[in-house]
Structure 1
Amino acid sequence: MSAVFERLKGAASADWSRYVEHDFVRRMGDGTLPDAAFRRYLVQDYLFLIQFARANALAAYKSRTLADMRRAQGALSAILDVELDLHVRLSARWGLSAMDLERAREEPATTAYTRFVLDCGASGDLLDLHVALAPCVIGYGEIGARLAAALTPDALAAHPYRDWIGEYAGAPYQGVAEAARLHLEDLAARSLTERRFGALGEMFAQACRLEADFWQMGLETQA
């Protein structure tokens, strides 16, 4: 049996491509993404990450082994201690504080995606939750690495979105993404059956569609 993440991507290939090759991603990569679009995305992604922190806390609750609990703790720490700090640093260029970000109103795309993931976790098991999380956690690693690989070191140094690209292409986050991939494999080895794969594939595809909607939200910003 091939790696479960690759199987999920293959089963949802159109939705996966629409997400990782979205025009928001393309324009961020080539530096033509409007400043206002990135700012709106960044504020909403901060709120998004707060809910994803809750999802990883739920993963700890759903865990049946100490190893799973420690993995959930590590993922929670990566959000609270690394990713949220990145968003605060990037938002400072517009004079936005952490409190400003926390007080922002959630856009419908943010609410739809995060509550979908939380519902998958609340109503299902740990595998369901990690399948719903995978497009974000692993997908951002793939997007960051691809965008960085397309730029020379000098081009990246002068890039308007170098901090975002560098964060998700960098070794620490790549380690987070790889750990998530390996954990998904481990969970699948324990409880995935061919009969169950169809439902998980649709869950993964829906998460990809919601990711694409999240990018689109940023592009629809009125500059």
Structure 2
Amino acid sequence: MSFFERLKSAASAEWRAYTEHPFTNGLADASLPEAAFRHYLVQDYLFLIEFARAYALAVYKSPNLADMREAAAGVSAILDIEMDLHVKLCAGWGLSPADLEQAPPSVEMLAYTSYVLDTGMRGDLLALKVALAPCVIGYAEIATRLAAQPQADAATNPYRVWIAEYAGAPYQDVAAKAQAHLDALANRYATPAREAELIAIFKEATRLEADFWQMGWRVGQSIE
């Protein structure tokens, strides 16, 4: 069992709560209210800004050039690809990039990004990458599951573009490389004595991811 698979197994309850959250199911069958998705997307845009900072921190924490290049590629993927998707989706709702950047951050967004950045500041590259893993790798797993649902790619599903982006080959490749790099870092730096600490980081980051879905879900529930 790989290091990442051991993390998932140890955090199985948290992982299920995150990857199978009702918010995600609402994307697949188009039942999620638009206001809930819009709120999530705006907060996710702010979240990505902070995650780009976390990847920049990973460059600093990297002990060699190969690790630095991997982290720098993560910064580029966020700033040049993933955030552009958010801008395009939000443009359809009349939201400009300035609107997104000036939106007030939610408590959930601040809690999650603060945890990741604090973990990275206090720990080494492996600890930071463990904190980043639920987002980077989890989105690929979630999107793969959603894409297999019968209504996911229907022309009437307003969330099909989002699902296709994360289920598509380019992002799946990003997630696969992130997992491979995490496993390689673990082979170098993880010890039996550290495993409990790393599992605790993974559990907390996964829980905060689930809270992020819940943030959007509450908006949907409040308008029903």
On the 8 A contact 2:36/2:218 being kept in 1, the answer is yes
Query: 1:168 matched to which residue of 2?
Result: 166
Query: 2:202 matched to which residue of 1?
Result: 204
Instruction: Write the distance in 2 (CA, Å) between the matches of 1:96 and 1:200.
Output: 39
Instruction: Write the distance in 2 (CA, Å) between the matches of 1:151 and 1:10.
Output: 28
On the 8 A contact 1:148/1:156 being kept in 2, the answer is no
Local SS of the residue matching 1:94? coil
Q: Which amino acid aligns with 2:35?
A: A
Q: Which amino acid aligns with 2:197?
A: A
User: Which contiguous aligned blocks of 4+ residues in structure 1 show a shift greater than 6 angstroms?
Assistant: none
Local SS of the residue matching 1:174? helix
Q: Which amino acid aligns with 1:114?
A: T
Structure 1: any 5+ residue segments left out of the alignment? none
Structure 2: any 5+ residue segments left out of the alignment? none
**Cα gap change, 1:152 to 1:217, in 2 (>3 Å):** closer
Query: 1:37 matched to which residue of 2?
Result: 36
Between the aligned residues of both structures, percent identity stands at 60
Q: Which amino acid aligns with 1:91?
A: C
How many residues align? The count is 221
Deviations 1:28-85 (A, max 9, x none): 1111000000000000000000000000000000011100000001111110011100
Local SS of the residue matching 2:92? helix
Instruction: Write the distance in 1 (CA, Å) between the matches of 2:124 and 2:157.
Output: 41
Query: 1:66 matched to which residue of 2?
Result: 65
Instruction: Write the distance in 1 (CA, Å) between the matches of 2:128 and 2:197.
Output: 13
Deviations 1:109-137 (A, max 9, x none): 00000000000100000000000000000
Instruction: Write the distance in 2 (CA, Å) between the matches of 1:197 and 1:150.
Output: 36
Q: Which amino acid aligns with 1:178?
A: A
Give me the TM-score of the superposition, normalised by structure 2: 0.96
Deviation of the 1:27 alpha carbon: 1.1
Deviations 1:154-183 (A, max 9, x none): x44432101100000001100110010000
Instruction: Write the distance in 2 (CA, Å) between the matches of 1:150 and 1:217.
Output: 24
Instruction: Write the distance in 2 (CA, Å) between the matches of 1:105 and 1:15.
Output: 28
On the 8 A contact 2:29/2:149 being kept in 1, the answer is no
On the 8 A contact 2:23/2:213 being kept in 1, the answer is yes
